[in-house]
Amino acid sequence: MLNPRLDQLKDYPFQRLRDLLAGLTPPSGLAPVVMSIGEPQHPYPDLVGEMLHANRHLYGKYPPLAGTEALRASVGAWLDRRYHLPEGMLDPARHILPVSGTREGLFMLAQIAVPERKGGGQPIVAMPNPFYQCYLGAAAMTGAQAHFVPALPESNFLPDFRGMGEALLARTALVYLCSPANPQGTVADAAYLADLITLARAYDFVLVVDECYAEIYDEVPPTGALEACARLGDDFRNVVVFHSLSKRSSVPGLRAGFCAGDPDLLAAFAKLRSYAAAGMPLPVQAAATALWRDETHVEANRARYREKFALAQAIIGNRFGFYKPAGGFFLWLDVGDGEEATRALYRKAALTVLPGRYLTREGADGAAAGTPYVRVAMVQDAAITRDALERLRDCLA
């Protein structure tokens, strides 16, 4: 009765984590701290509630899948400001499509990007290793071969897609890239993005760049793929980016994001969504419109993360391969055995983190790139984070 492609999907990382910790009891004298999931705990702006309340009467209407004109205009103006796009390059009516949370969009886009065959064989969907599990789900359910490209310390955690070689690239239909990367926090610079865009056009694959952590960074605003397109002096051909308010504005429950880029791909995606997707409720669209216009709350949010990474640098120091990530809100710590460290942190320190192995698949060398690591989500407030990092240091030391 079931689609056999589901067999390619292991249990989701958080189910594996629950299984790993089953039967363990954290110490009763410590308050539990969850640092396994990237769910921001910062306060969200008051304007969210204000806009939802002011527009509550619109829950009685079906929302347009393409989004309101005001939402697309707000997103377009933000993209122009944030990525220094030439005037007139981006048309909100053609180049932007709202999605009800980017996970839905990242998954569904593969349905229009992956053909039955490519380059004379089974199409390939390539992704970094470690990766966001949604990418693997999209590859599996389109019938593509998932190809995992290592993102290791020696390459600054950036995957070398060009190194896949002619035969695999000819079959590649879709490439996922996350920048800033989840979990390593690496940022792809303008040269890297330009080379990857050039590669996508040479081999005619769709490049999907997940930029959901782009507004959380240490010093330099991360370059975006649309910005790289503009620097190439070209259009957005073969390129789609995804953005979300979940991290930028600390509203993961709002489920408000968008994709932008190649207008032909977005037109096809809009056609698919008309059959399969639910539109973002109109009060949510009103709140999202206001959030994309406002930068004050984003700067305050960014400052909170910077404060916590400074704490991590002071508390952890040079232990566990610590480095301050260029973007995002995760620590990617080399603890030798991620699963064993996760069990110890839960049992001895009442901390829940995620084994890096659960974010990876075994590569050609038979080794899972994330096995020695744990991912620590720095999503709690500064006081809780300080206490948690001290417990982590003392437990694993």
CATH of the domain at 29: 3.90.1150.10
* pLDDT of the residue at 141: 94
Q: Is the pLDDT of residue 54 over 60?
A: yes
The answer on 158 and 219 residing in a single domain is yes
Mean pLDDT for 298-306 is 97
Domain endpoint, select from 253, 277, 294: 294
pLDDT at 52 (0 to 100): 98
Q: Could you tell me what percent of the chain has a pLDDT over 70?
A: 99
Q: Which helix (H) or strand (E) holds 346?
A: helix 338-349
End residue of a domain, out of 236, 270, 294: 294
Length of the chain equals: 397
* Residue 210, φ and ψ in degrees, nearest 5: -85, 105
Residues 9 and 129 in one domain: no
- Average pLDDT in the 235-262 region? 97
Q: Which amino acid is at 81?
A: R
> In terms of domains, do 326 and 192 share one?
no
Same domain membership, residue 178 and residue 96: yes
Residues 262 and 301 in one domain: no
Check which CATH number belongs to the domain holding 100 and give it: 3.40.640.10
Clarify whether residues 329 and 273 are in a common domain. no
Decide if pLDDT at 147 tops 50: yes
Paired tokens of 129: 């290793």
Q: Tell me: the pLDDT tens digits for 268-289?
A: 999 999 999 989 999 999 999 9
- Per-position DSSP letters for 102-152, written without gaps between them: HHHHHHHHHHHH--S-BTTB--EEEEEES--HHHHHHHHHTTPEEEEEE--
Residue 188, C-beta contacts closer than 8 angstroms, at least 6 positions apart: 158, 177, 179, 196, 222, 223
Domain assignment of residue 125, given as a range: 47-294
243 and 223 assigned to the same domain: yes
Q: What is the pLDDT of residues 209-230, one digit of tens each?
A: 999 999 999 999 999 999 999 9
Asked whether residue 218 falls in the same domain as residue 367, the answer is no
- Residue 250 sits in the same domain as residue 196: yes
* Res. 346: pLDDT tops 60: yes
Specify whether 171 is located in the same domain as 54.
yes
pLDDT band, very low/low/confident/very high, at 368 (cuts 50, 70, 90) = confident
13 and 82 assigned to the same domain = no
Q: Which of 242, 277, 294 marks a domain boundary? A: 294
363 has a pLDDT exceeding 80: no
Residue 377 has pLDDT above 70, yes or no: yes
State whether 161 and 306 are in the same domain.
Answer: no
pLDDT given for residue 365 in this prediction: 53
How many structural domains does the chain have? Answer: 2
Query: What would the pLDDT profile of 173-217 be if each residue is shown by its tens digit?
Result: 999 999 999 999 999 999 999 999 999 999 999 999 999 999 999
